[in-house]
């Protein structure tokens, strides 16, 4: 199974940018898509974006479309989330996830079969 490790989180001010990385190791060759989710305290885990590994098609939640950009580097087995114009409400633990099944659903936590442990992003006002 692929192992995922998120990095790049931290404390930033509103309006700042931050780029998260998710490094994959192990048996990652079968990955079909990689996505980013976040979870704030007391809230459900929220879909943010996903990228289809082959071809690079991307999909975004309406809440972050235009501010966040997902990308991947096949050679580095890494997926990124560029976050711009950060807001205090973006404060959450951000998770990377991958899926191996070739389904056409990418927005639910149940669509993914592998998860990282998360990285904290805190946006102050």
The pLDDT tens digits of the residues spanning 40-52 come to: 999 999 999 999 9
The pLDDT value recorded for residue 1 is 75
- pLDDT on residue 84: 98
Choice between 68 and 1, residue whose per-residue pLDDT is larger: 68
pLDDT value at residue 32: 93
Cα-Cα end-to-end distance for the chain:
39
User: Apex CA 26: angle with CA 73 and CA 107, to 5°?
Assistant: 60
The pLDDT of 98-113, averaged and rounded, is 92
How confident is the model at residue 29, as a pLDDT? 74
Mean of pLDDT over the chain: 94
Is residue 74 within 8 A of residue 53, CB to CB? The reply is yes
Helix (H, G, I), strand (E, B) or coil at 53: coil
Q: Is the pLDDT of residue 26 over 90?
A: no
pLDDT at 27: 72
């Amino acid at each position: 199974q692929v192992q995922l490790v998120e990095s790049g989180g931290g404390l930033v001010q509103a309006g700042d940018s931050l780029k998260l990385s998710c490094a994959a190791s192990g048996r990652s060759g079968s990955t079909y898509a990689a996505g980013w989710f976040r979870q704030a305290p007391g809230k459900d885990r929220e879909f943010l974006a996903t990228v289809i590994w082959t071809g690079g098609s991307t999909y975004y939640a309406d809440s972050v479309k235009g501010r966040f950009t997902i990308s991947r580097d096949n050679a580095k087995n890494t997926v990124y989330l560029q976050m711009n114009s950060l807001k205090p409400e973006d404060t959450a633990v951000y998770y990377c996830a991958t899926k191996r099944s070739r389904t056409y659903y990418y927005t639910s936590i149940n669509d993914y079969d592998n998860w990282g442990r998360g990285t904290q992003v805190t946006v102050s006002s």
